[in-house]
Amino acid sequence: MESKRASFEGALEALGVTVASTTESELEAAVTEAVTEPAVGVAPDEAVADEAFSLTETPVTVDPTPVALREATTGVTEAELGIGDYGSLVLSMTDQASELVSLFVERHVAILYEEDIQPDMDAAVAELDERFNETGGSAIIATGPSATADMGALVKGAHGPREVHVIIVEEGV
Amino acid sequence: MATADEIRELMRTEGAAVAENTQGFNTGRYDSVADLEDYEELKRAARSIKEDAIEDLPDLLDQLTETVEANGGTVYIADDAADANDYIRDVVDERAADRVVKSKSMTSEEIEVNEALEADGVDVVETDLGEWVLQIADEAPSHIVAPAIHKSRESIAELFNEQFDPDEPLETAEELTHFAREKLGEQIVDAEVGITGANFIAADTGTMALVTSEGNARKTVAATDTHVAVAGVEKVIPTVADLHPFIELIGRSGTGQDITSYVSLLTPPVDTPVVDFTDDETPLSEFDSDRDFHLVLIDNGRLEMRDDEQLRETLYCIRCSACSNSCANFQSVGGHAFGGETYSGGIATGWEAGIEGVDVAEEFNDLCTGCTRCVNACPVGIDIPWINTVVRDRINRDKDAPGEWLVDGLTPDEEDDGAPLQKRFFGNFETVAKLGSATAPVSNWLAGTTLSRRAMDRILGIDPRRDLPTFERETLVDWAASRDSQVAKPERRAVLYPDLYTNHVQVERGKAAVKVLESLGVDVVVPPAPSSGRAPLSQGMIATATDHAERVTETLGPHIEDGRDVVVIEPSDHAMFTREYERLIDEAAFTSIAENSYEVFEYVFGLLDNGASVESLSTATGAEIAYHSHCQQRTLGLEAHTVAVLEDCGYDVVTSDVECCGMAGSFGYKSDYYELSMDVGDRLRTQLRDDGVQDRPVVASGTSCLEQIDALLERQPRHPIELLAT
């Protein structure tokens, strides 16, 4: 477990993505610290998280209006998986508009449970293969901020976020 | 066909930006794949998935149609561009859409859907920043992956400032990007229909993969309620799990990124709610995800390509652009010279021949020199130079035989009658060389006169600025026949293959090779043998090349049966024996020659490794040398042997790492390509003039490399085997 996490964090660092780690009980504080206001978000999946994770005690507006989304600087969503060797996040597309919240903002803050870090791309694709075959669905493998080199030099923040921050929620603490 | 004037103009206007970008991508590719422990295994897996998928294509298309429709989408298989456009226009019309936003897709370029929709009064906006620049500039993409690669930051700034007249003139890449992001962001949220391509589509779940970095494909899908995905039928693979090798390979192969920022795996229609971006009251989750999805799969000649033994491999292409970036000529002229109606670069010949026709491919087919540098770069192992050769052959056959038979007698094979005079001359260089040696030195004097050079330029298109080979009166075969073997008790026995140039022109390197092998205890014979067929193959004269291949194996066969190894000096001929002959002759004959042939330094390396003493050779102590390997030699993984042997012999070796010297056989002799050849060669010249290299003697393995370096430098290069002879 430690090596997967170490390689994941190393890869994130190489991508210019910042990382914080926290316990379940400290998650709200970690989110509060990570966001630049105005912030909007989607609360972590209820099936995984208990009430403490509802984001209600943070400056994050959950389930914002479209206008609030467009005016927001930060978007907070859960990441389904982390991929150790690439520093990638697997983002799901929910009817709570996670896709819009993670994309139409300057700064994306992703909450990732440590147990969801996969060692490599092979393992991550195998898990997605299983899930898509059972229940269908879609996902984004997001690696670092959006970027382009079309204007003559590498620029971070093309259509999507220019900053990504990952909060790793440690288990069993 | 791109003429000298067009090539010169492209090098002047677009060359610098293209060179910088493609070389950056290419270097990135080398660095990035070096980090993959199982690179070759991933490539094999990727190829095998595509091979099977194309084999099973009709079944996969049926399966995909079923799954997409079960998911609530629609599949339309379009015969051609017009059919696809009619369908898409209906979808847009039914949605009553005023604006369509579009994420970059080569297949949509192929069908020219923008023009079709614009004719209906629909506003079509490209959301990829590079594509948007081209849309504003009204230009065509010059690269499969980075469409505006030929434009510099300065020229984009000039374009934007002129077009949009911003308060403060835009200057930096950051300013330009953010300006484009703002402009496009407004248009995306205001659009009704989003068009994307699809890099891969899994038949089992209907999941498509979209590989992007900017996030525009994500926005194009999320912000509109009607998604039209346009893809060639060849994009279908069986399962989601099959995506794995492609996700690992595609970014690395193309731009040298380990992975692009986003790989969207979409099983449309997606759950994301369709929102009104001007609504300040309704929470996001209260909007419905009432989405419409249409997958338009385009045939447009692909199913015929599937039945075409030679073009079929083109369908394995994943459009990563590695073949463009690794191509020395592409690095100089870019896709506007190196492309047809839509696709550009190495694999474009296959695509354009298949979807547009051989005549479109002809416009740029000659720019492939057959150097094979793209072969190992291709993540699905497509033999791109072979496809180019086949198409060249078809172009030749489409032509009427030239009326004026100046070089009559130079075409032994009637099947190749269609080849133009210039191709026939280079393709039958064996005859020229025989005549040249037989009449030397008169032939050399005659060939060098101003009058002959003018005639050669006018009739054969041979550039007068290029030095011609000087034929030797005594060929290597003659020399070898007149002397006895120097080895009393041979350790091994070999037949040294007298290639065209070694036998007639570079006889000294042949003599050196014989002496080196004898010093290491090898009994050597040098029998007369036909030329390998490399020359006609380069000109697309496959029937003539096949005839050569058959005669070569008949000549060398008895020697191999007699227990002799075949030692080859010229790397391009060694590559013929071990690569191209597989396409030309029967399996048994190919296996025999391929398994028993060795490049001369590969052979020397093996002898030393098996106990022969380096002391038998001419050695140096720390002498500095610069070495340029040969394209085809590097493709076969044989550069290291020369370096190792030279180091064993005491040399301090610096090697060049440019993709190619720019000569590649006959290419650099042709008047139309002389300047391009020298522009490519300039990159090698720069390396050989670097600090610490500028005073080193230069050695090179290939005939054409030696000729090019001779033209580029004051220092006259030699074949490295000449250093080793005592």
- Per-residue pLDDT tens digits for B167-201: 999 999 999 999 999 999 999 999 999 999 999 99
Asked whether residue B407 carries a pLDDT value surpassing 50, the answer given is no
Contact B268 A138 (CB under 8 A): yes
Q: What is the ipTM of this complex?
A: 0.97
Contact A151 B262 (CB under 8 A): no
Touching check for B207 and chain A: CB below 8 Å?
A: yes
Range list of H helices, B470-530: 476-481, 500-504, 507-519
**Rounded to the nearest 5 degrees, what angle is found at the Cα of A109, between the Cα atoms of A106 and A110?**
135
Selecting from B127, B148, B215 the residue whose C-beta is nearest the C-beta of A146 gives B215
Cβ contacts of A103 on chain B, cutoff 8 Å? 215, 218-219, 222
Touching check for B271 and chain A: CB below 8 Å?
A: yes
**Mean pLDDT for the stretch of residues B643-662:** 97
The pLDDT value given to residue B405: 40
Asked whether residue B406 carries a pLDDT value surpassing 50, the answer given is no
- Of B103-107, B183-187, B325-329, B467-471, where does mean pLDDT reach its minimum? B467-471
Touching check for B285 and chain A: CB below 8 Å?
A: yes
Distances (CA, A) of B47 to B41, B43, B54, B301, B353: 10, 6, 11, 21, 22
φ, ψ (nearest 5 deg) of residue B247: -60, -35
Say how many CB pairs under 8 Å bridge A and B: 201
The pLDDT value given to residue A52: 56
Strand order through the sheet with B492-497: B522-525, B492-497, B565-568, B597-599
Asked whether residue A173 carries a pLDDT value surpassing 70, the answer given is no
Asked whether residue B17 carries a pLDDT value surpassing 80, the answer given is yes
Bridge partners, B125 (sequence order)? B101
Asked whether residue B495 carries a pLDDT value surpassing 50, the answer given is yes
Q: Kindly state the percentage of chain B with pLDDT values over 70.
A: 97
8 A C-beta contact, residue A66 and residue B277? yes
Of the candidates B349, B342, B352, B360, the one whose C-alpha atom is nearest the C-alpha of residue B398 is B360
**Mean pLDDT for the stretch of residues B426-446:** 84
Confidence band (pLDDT; 50, 70, 90) for B647?
A: very high
Touching check for B406 and chain A: CB below 8 Å?
A: no
CA B453 to chain centre: 32
Distance from CA of B388 to the nearest CA of A (A): 30
Q: Which two tokens stand for residue B513?
A: 């090779």
**Mean pLDDT for the stretch of residues B158-165:** 96
Contact A97 B214 (CB under 8 A): no
Contact A140 B264 (CB under 8 A): yes
Asked whether residue B598 carries a pLDDT value surpassing 80, the answer given is yes
Distance from CA of A88 to the nearest CA of B (A): 9
- Per-residue pLDDT tens digits for B545-558: 999 999 999 999 99
Strand order through the sheet with B74-78: B74-78, B292-298, B226-232, B193-196, B99-102, B123-126
Calpha distance B180→B127 (Å, rounded):
9
Contact A141 B278 (CB under 8 A): no
B202: nearest CA partner in chain A = A129
Asked whether residue A97 carries a pLDDT value surpassing 50, the answer given is yes
A62: nearest CA partner in chain B = B283
Contact A136 B156 (CB under 8 A): no
- In sequence order, the 6+-apart residues with CB closer than 8 A to the CB of B83 are none
Q: Which two tokens stand for residue B450?
A: 């101003």
Cβ contacts of B276 on chain A, cutoff 8 Å? 66
The pLDDT value given to residue A172: 67
Contact A146 B261 (CB under 8 A): yes
Asked whether residue B670 carries a pLDDT value surpassing 70, the answer given is yes
Contact A65 B259 (CB under 8 A): no
The pLDDT value given to residue A152: 87
Distance from CA of A54 to the nearest CA of B (A): 15
Contact B275 A147 (CB under 8 A): no
Confidence band (pLDDT; 50, 70, 90) for B445?
A: confident
Touching check for B16 and chain A: CB below 8 Å?
A: no
The pLDDT value given to residue B533: 96
Distance from CA of A28 to the nearest CA of B (A): 22
Contact B248 A121 (CB under 8 A): yes
Range list of H helices, B568-672: 571-575, 581-584, 587-596, 600-609, 631-635, 639-648
The pLDDT value given to residue B422: 87
8 A C-beta contact, residue A79 and residue A91? yes
pTM: 0.94
Confidence band (pLDDT; 50, 70, 90) for B485?
A: confident
Contact B284 A97 (CB under 8 A): yes
Q: Which string of DSSP letters, residue by residue, matches B299-355?
A: -TTHHHHHT-TTTGGGGG-----HHHHT-HHHHHH-TTTSB-SS-BSTTHHHHHHHH
Higher pLDDT, B666 or B292: B292
Contact A132 B276 (CB under 8 A): no
- Per-residue pLDDT tens digits for B44-101: 999 999 999 999 999 999 999 999 999 999 999 999 999 999 999 999 999 999 999 9
A155: nearest CA partner in chain B = B174
The pLDDT value given to residue B415: 52
Selecting from B202, B213, B279 the residue whose C-beta is nearest the C-beta of A148 gives B213
R_g (Cα) of chain A, nearest Å = 15
Selecting from B130, B180, B275 the residue whose C-beta is nearest the C-beta of A100 gives B275
Most A-contacting residue of B102, B152, B159, B271 (CB-CB within 10 A), to test interface: B271
Calpha distance B353→B349 (Å, rounded):
6
Cβ contacts of B215 on chain A, cutoff 8 Å? 103, 146, 158-161
Cβ contacts of A137 on chain B, cutoff 8 Å? 267, 271
- Per-residue pLDDT tens digits for B268-317: 999 999 999 999 999 999 999 999 999 999 999 999 999 999 999 999 99
Calpha distance B579→B463 (Å, rounded):
31
B143: nearest CA partner in chain A = A150
- Per-residue pLDDT tens digits for A127-169: 999 999 998 899 999 999 999 999 988 999 999 999 999 999 9
Contact B285 A96 (CB under 8 A): yes
**Mean pLDDT for the stretch of residues B441-453:** 84
Q: Which two tokens stand for residue B532?
A: 């390998």
Asked whether residue B497 carries a pLDDT value surpassing 60, the answer given is yes
- Of A37-51, B29-43, B248-262, B412-426, where does mean pLDDT reach its minimum? B412-426
Confidence band (pLDDT; 50, 70, 90) for B427?
A: confident
Distance from CA of B682 to the nearest CA of A (A): 24
8 A C-beta contact, residue B297 and residue B232? yes
B103: nearest CA partner in chain A = A159
Cβ contacts of B283 on chain A, cutoff 8 Å? 63-65
Cβ contacts of B237 on chain A, cutoff 8 Å? none
**Mean pLDDT for the stretch of residues B374-397:** 96
The pLDDT value given to residue A50: 57
Contact A125 B261 (CB under 8 A): no
B238: nearest CA partner in chain A = A129
Cβ contacts of A104 on chain B, cutoff 8 Å? 219
- Of B129-138, B437-446, B479-488, B506-515, where does mean pLDDT reach its minimum? B437-446
8 A C-beta contact, residue B223 and residue B235? no
pLDDT, averaged across chain B? 94
The pLDDT value given to residue B447: 83
The pLDDT value given to residue B604: 98
Contact B130 A150 (CB under 8 A): yes
